[in-house]
Amino acid sequence: MSMRILLINNLYKPYARGGAERITELSAEALKKKGHEIALLTTLPYFKKEKNPDFKTYYIKSFYRDLGEIPTFLRLFWHVFDIFDLRSYFYVRKILKKEKIDLAITHNLKGIGFLVPRAIQAQKIKHVHTLHDIQLIYPSGLMFYNEEKKIDGFFAKIYAFFSRVFFNSPEAIIAPSQWLLDLHANKGFFKHSKKIVLLNPIKIEHNIRNKNYDVFRFLFVGQIEDHKGYAILIKAFQKIKSPNSELVVIGDGSKMENLKKMANGNDKIKILGRKNKEEVLNLMLNSDCLIVPSLCYENSPTVIYEALANGLPVLGSNIGGIPELIRDKNFLFAPSEDELTRKMEWAIENKDNLKIEPPKFVSASEYVDWISKIL
């Protein structure tokens, strides 16, 4: 039966920058193909005008996309406003009535407001929420290795209390990792919701990798930020004894200049900056191992999906939801410089047998079918 569905995520193309935006996009396309009527709600950065042409889209002006440029003390007030944003509450209620929505699917709500679930519930509309990180538990959405106690601090507990109350219990909660679902359950979230662990949707492509062991190529794809572990990666690679190896770094971020300083003088480190999807795929097909050296507890990194789907082995930090994707312990490491160096040397030594079994991925069509099943 055809439904009128509203998808809500705090960012969407052309301002997308992460996995949640890609999942929202794939879901919207798959739902449309199944005959549903789709509308979107997202943020529009202040002083920007470019909008999404693919679907009927509603916008809320927000500083969210550029939050990192706001001074820390002002961010605190922003987070408080975001939790209690009555503007968004009434705007969402208006959209729900205007579009006669049957189902709301929410993703990341930072920048749109944590009162949105209450607006949905007030209209007695079915609600499915997908978890992507810990932003309901901790404002930054990040929990760092060896700093786990921060999410249990006094102000963090107050923040999580209001998040828990405002979200209440949607009909269904989807999480790509058991780790993330369990963490929220342990904090008292979603007591009466149906819950399911479901990998994020991915487009499966059958490509052939071009192995060339004259040089063993390590690849990093991600934001150049502290929590992504770029610093321990550079230091670890510089300790490798094998002369026939190189590190290719794809991505951009606020720490790019520091990355360049750390790599200065090492011609085996290639810093390529931001690349489009086709260029990233080509580099994956011409590399020998992807490195995911995250210092924060990630949920289910999209880059790991893309690598494993194309037969590229992955070395990843043994924290968060990463071990649920990289299920072979030989490819996991404690997020430290020395541990990563050992794993990279192990990968080079075992290059002829470097293979990892991917998890069972789901297509966008299968993903939205699961949503229907759990309602």
Residue-wise pLDDT for 269-279, tens only, equals 999 999 988 99
Indicate yes or no: pTM above 0.85. yes
Confidence of residue 206 (pLDDT cuts 50, 70, 90): low
Flag whether 101 is in a domain: yes
pLDDT at 210 exceeding the cut of 80: no
Confidence of residue 374 (pLDDT cuts 50, 70, 90): confident
Question: Are residues 58 and 186 located together in one domain of the fold?
Answer: yes
State the average pLDDT over residues 306-317.
94
| Residues in a beta bridge with 317 | 333
State the average pLDDT over residues 63-83.
82
Long-range contacts of 310-314 (CB under 8 A, 24+ apart): 310/205, 310/207, 310/209, 310/281, 310/284, 310/285, 311/207, 311/209, 312/209, 312/219, 312/284, 312/285, 312/287, 312/288, 313/288, 313/289, 313/347, 313/354, 313/355, 313/356, 314/289, 314/290, 314/356
Flag whether 237 is in a domain: yes
Flag whether 133 is in a domain: yes
Instruction: Look at phi and psi of residue 83 and say left if phi exceeds 0, alpha if psi is from -120 to 50, else beta.
Output: alpha
Question: Are residues 181 and 295 located together in one domain of the fold?
Answer: no
Sign of the Cα pseudo-torsion (24, 22, 330, 144, in order): negative
Which H or E run contains 314? strand 314-317
Question: Are residues 128 and 15 located together in one domain of the fold?
Answer: yes
In the sheet with 269-273, reading across from the earlier edge strand, the strands are: 269-273, 245-250, 216-221, 289-292, 314-317, 332-333
Flag whether 191 is in a domain: yes
Chain centre to alpha carbon of residue 331: 21
Question: Are residues 120 and 169 located together in one domain of the fold?
Answer: yes
Q: Are 95 and 40 in contact (CB under 8 A)?
A: no
**Among the ranges given (42-46, 127-131, 191-195, 320-324), the one the predictor scored with the smallest mean pLDDT:** 42-46
Flag whether 58 is in a domain: yes
Query: Per-residue DSSP letters for 94-123?
Result: HHHHHHT-SEEEE---TTT-TTHHHHHHHT
The pLDDT value given to residue 330 = 94
Question: Are residues 299 and 280 located together in one domain of the fold?
Answer: yes
Q: Residue 72: is it exposed, middle or buried by C-beta count within 10 angstroms (0-12/13-18/19+)? A: exposed
Share of the chain above pLDDT 90, in %: 73
The pLDDT value given to residue 212 = 64
Residue 140: both structure tokens together? 């930054």
Question: Are residues 160 and 195 located together in one domain of the fold?
Answer: yes
Question: Are residues 170 and 32 located together in one domain of the fold?
Answer: yes
Which CATH number belongs to the domain containing residue 163 in this structure?
3.40.50.2000
Flag whether 204 is in a domain: no
Confidence of residue 340 (pLDDT cuts 50, 70, 90): very high
Confidence of residue 169 (pLDDT cuts 50, 70, 90): very high
Q: Are 44 and 60 in contact (CB under 8 A)?
A: yes
Flag whether 205 is in a domain: no
Cα(235)–Cα(316) distance, integer angstroms: 16
Question: Are residues 238 and 346 located together in one domain of the fold?
Answer: yes
Q: Which domain holds residue 222?
A: 216-353
Cα(190)–Cα(181) distance, integer angstroms: 10
Confidence of residue 71 (pLDDT cuts 50, 70, 90): confident
Residue-wise pLDDT for 313-333, tens only, equals 999 999 999 999 999 999 999
Mean pLDDT, the chain, as a whole number? Answer: 92
Question: Are residues 245 and 188 located together in one domain of the fold?
Answer: no
Flag whether 207 is in a domain: no
Count of domains for the chain: 2
The pLDDT value given to residue 129 = 97
Question: Are residues 33 and 172 located together in one domain of the fold?
Answer: yes
Question: Are residues 221 and 160 located together in one domain of the fold?
Answer: no
Question: Are residues 260 and 333 located together in one domain of the fold?
Answer: yes
